[in-house]
Structure 1
Amino acid sequence: MRALIFAAGLGERMRPLTEHTPKPLLAAGGKPLIAWHLERLAAAGVREVVINTSWLARQFPRTLGDGAAWGLRIRYSHEGDTPLETGGGLWHALPLLGNEPFIAVNGDIWTDFDFARLPERPAGDAHLVLIDNPLHNPHGDFHLTADGDVHGDGPQRLTFAGIGMYRASLFDDWRRVIGAAPGAEAEPPRFRLAPLLRAAMAEGQVTGERHPGRWTDVGTPQRLAELDASLAED
């Protein structure tokens, strides 16, 4: 099984911490945020991990190497000086991810989610992990039905945790879905993943599950400090 870790963001909200260190390499609980993912992915049976990079890209191989420390093979999908956003970044990394379903996870979150819970072969184009809405996203993102389908809207919405199992088929019609969005005609293209997910939801091609455990979006220095303090108490 293969996985992608999104790590190409500029980390602008985390400055000055990210002026010299990419956000996924910031430490929490005594190790880089991304190392927590690598440990849990390896424990779930993943053997190959692709990390997309842009800002301060050279620091990733210097810090993580080839993945042998975790029993993994790490390959890097460099996007250049301008990140390609989530959709463009995933599209750019597809040749390294192969034809089988793969995990994708945001590199700037921390969670105790067990990746082994994800379905090896999702019923549709994607299977998403959702959480109860945090204070910084009170209105949520998507609606999870009782039978496990995910919709773009609904009476009660949960927050997308930045964790999912995907098929490459999610991108089969991406140019029509994205349309004339800024960056879509660039080479390589730059676009968000959310419009593709919403289009797939409209066709009944997205399932999901709620994670009741711990999760942090490390989007500000304060949240990083709070997470670090919490992990120190474990």
Structure 2
Amino acid sequence: MIEVRKGSDRYRGADEATGIETRHAFSFSGFYDPDNVRFGSLVACNEERLPAGAGFGLHPHRDVEIVTWVVEGELAHEDSEGHTAVVRPGDVQRLSAGSGVRHVERNAGPDPLVFVQMWLVPEEFGGEPEYEVVRGIADATPYALDRARAVLHVRRLREGETGGLPNASHVHVHVVRGGVRLDGTGLGPGDAARITGCAGLSVQAGEAGAELLVWEMGAGPTAQP
């Protein structure tokens, strides 16, 4: 089954004081839909937009895997475990909250910051917090999230190029840039597809090419070339 979720249907929140805008794909914060709580181990896929100088102050997390993909700008991270980093487009950031961690996220540059943040539920709760940044991840390189038994595939496709999707119990495709066609349906920026029980699927990029974040959940890496 393929369920398409359009970016225009996301719940949109805004903080007038800070200028931060958020677009939620799942139930999150003050928005709750009992029929849209999670997909596989994925419980959040938020598009965040922060003007220069804005950020999220020190706040706690536990028992969640947080993966961040910067679309534009520079994201500064600081946490209670002593980790600090500036994350830029092309980098993958992972914060495994484990038994508990606090962190700060803010716009570290002079330009607007746009990033996609995805939360996954680990298979086991507790454990020591972990932090990692992979700089300049290559196209189609699998990034394994062992605690959640999930794999992230970053796909960058040129105009007309076709890319295979993983064969797994749950596959989530989020379009960051450009557009693709999936099983006859067009997907543009902010759109997503939730796929279950399908194998051998592929996407084809449109005229502007495409950048995709593809989650493979419930199995090891099986993405097709």
Same fold (TM over 0.5): no
Normalized against structure 2, the TM-score is what?
0.27
Higher share in helix: 1
TM-score (norm 1): 0.26
Counting strand residues as a fraction of each chain, which structure ranks higher?
2
